[in-house]
Structure 1
């Protein structure tokens, strides 16, 4: 799709069970291109879930009640400010963020609702050597509070204190090593990363926005124009994504998130 990220897959019907050879080919393509796009795949939820579980174990997303469907429905008409329109990796405030996501388009507005992804391997690799060395030694605080306050302001009925107690702030490395490829990726994001540990306020005000802004450089990106029946499958570890909030008609997407199989965990 672009030089550095994204590939479109043809010649496979995701409504049917995949052979081990097909799974292996897709997994290698996914590790190479970071996000795979499948067109004209009109799946039901059961088929969507079966495809996802060929690549990892089921992740139970934040805020899902026990026994709820593993299919998370994103049904929006006024998405601006709800969190998707910030560059982010999913749920980095959790002790083990999901390995990957599989998002399927069900309904679209007439115009708009694209999604962008960015390659955070490349974001790290294109920093100057001196800045890479600094980032290699840093950790950062990830905190759910900011995104929760935005959700509450948009009318979602969350109890902020309860959510903060469930997911207290935690420290993560600023540079993450991918457990399968061994490559280093920049691991901060606007939605959840609040500060770089050990730096002064003034240093944080300079460096953290610089790193976040660097990640969204156009040369690191791919942009998808959805169609009903399109599936996107991305590796949450070396990518960030951004849902373009440029519509006011209904957009309905179904998503499954997965964790790594034991042999692929870091």
Structure 2
């Protein structure tokens, strides 16, 4: 053990600037060079000027034709998270049809299953409500993280229980230029164990580890459809950045995950009966607000199978 008088060596700071951006922000809805789409079948009501919109004019209980499917894909690409209300009679089978506009379902190995393959039921009641939540991107601990998710409200509390999303392309756009240079080309390790593993014993963790090893993704990914640069680091699953010392990695991860907490990058949705949300899981993070104790909140989710990130 070193003598008390020995100076303590601190890691060199990554930045000599504040961790959070101050002043005006760039909030672009579209990727550079992209043009705004025209919609013939969908009514678009923005929730913020650049991020999140409620869609109307369609009944999702009916078959989704090619023209509507293309408009849905374009709306999600443009707004990153889209919502529907008053979809009375919407079932798990309708939900699978809707998710199929983007791709096949991708089950979460840690979620309870329902009778419909690919659908996960997320229920929180008086015993579970009030637990800590955290900003995250679904399935980033997988080799091919989910492209998106479709979430429908089965039972909602009379008040509370909203969900928030953060635009991680905007988060990247507003990073200081020296930090963008710093993270360009870096790779992060993602792992389920620090979060889901906290609920398991050693034997259970060892069994899951055989199927779900640690994975690596770029710190900055290019969206697989738009090509737009997006910050891809989240609090529960990103454990470290390769090639850096433990101290440098921890400092840099802490800076990057804070960006999801900036209000200008966020949209908030209040759930009502028969509401549906669809989000781009590469371009966003989300946070389920757990403020409705002792009421009950039941949702059903389908994740959409992903592709390798670059």
Of the three residues 170, 173, 182, the one matched with 2:215 is: 170
RMSD: 2.3
Partner SS, residue 59 of structure 1: coil
C-alpha distance 68-11 of structure 1, shift in aligned 2 (>3 A): closer
Is contact 2:135-2:285 (8 Å) kept?
yes
2: CA distance between counterparts of 1:112 and 1:140?
34
Q: Distance in 1 between matches of 2:139 and 2:91?
A: 26
Partner secondary structure for residue 146 of structure 1: coil
* Residue equivalent to 2:81: 35
Gaps of 5+ in 2: 1-46
Pick one of 96, 108, 111 that aligns with 1:49: 96
Greater CA drift, 133-142 or 144-153: 144-153
Among 130, 136, 142, the alignment partner of 2:178 is 130
Number of equivalent positions: 259
Say if 1:75 and 1:250, in contact at 8 Å, map to a contact too. yes
1:11-62: per-residue Cα shift (whole Å, max 9, x none)? 0000001221111111111000000000011201111111211221222322
Q: How many angstroms apart in 2 are the aligned matches of 1:14 and 1:91? A: 26
* Structure of higher CA gyration radius: 2
CA distance in 1 between partners of 2:166 and 2:108 (Å): 22
* Residue 187 to residue 265, structure 1, CA distance change in 2 (3 Å): closer
**Any idea what SS the aligned residue of 2:171 has?**
helix
TM-score (norm 2): 0.78
Q: CA deviation at 1:80?
A: 4.0
Following superposition of structure 1 onto structure 2, how do residues 252-263 of structure 1 map, counting pairs within 5 Å?
Answer: 252-259=298-305
Counterpart residue number, 1:58: 105
Structure 2 counterpart of 1:94: 142
With normalisation by structure 1, the TM-score equals 0.90
Structure 1 residue 102: deviation in Å? Answer: 0.2
| 1:78-157 paired onto structure 2 within 5 Å | 78-81=128-131, 85-152=133-200
Asked if 1 retains the 8 angstrom alpha-carbon contact of 2:107 and 2:302, the reply is no
Consecutive unaligned residues of structure 1, counting only runs of 5 or more, are none
Helix, strand or coil at the partner of 1:133:
helix
Map of 2:50 onto structure 1: 4
Q: Where in structure 2 are the equivalents of 1:161-240 lying within 5 Å?
A: 161-240=206-285
Q: Is the 8 A contact 2:110 2:196 kept in 1?
A: no
Contact persistence 2:221–2:309 (CA under 8 A): no
Give, in whole Å, the separation in 1 of the partners of 2:142 and 2:219.
15
Alpha-carbon distance between aligned partners in 2 of 1:244 and 1:63, rounded to the nearest angstrom: 20
Shift of 1:253: 0.4
- Matched residue, 2:8: none
* Structure with larger RCO (C-alpha < 8 A, sep 6+): 1
Counterpart of 1:24? 70
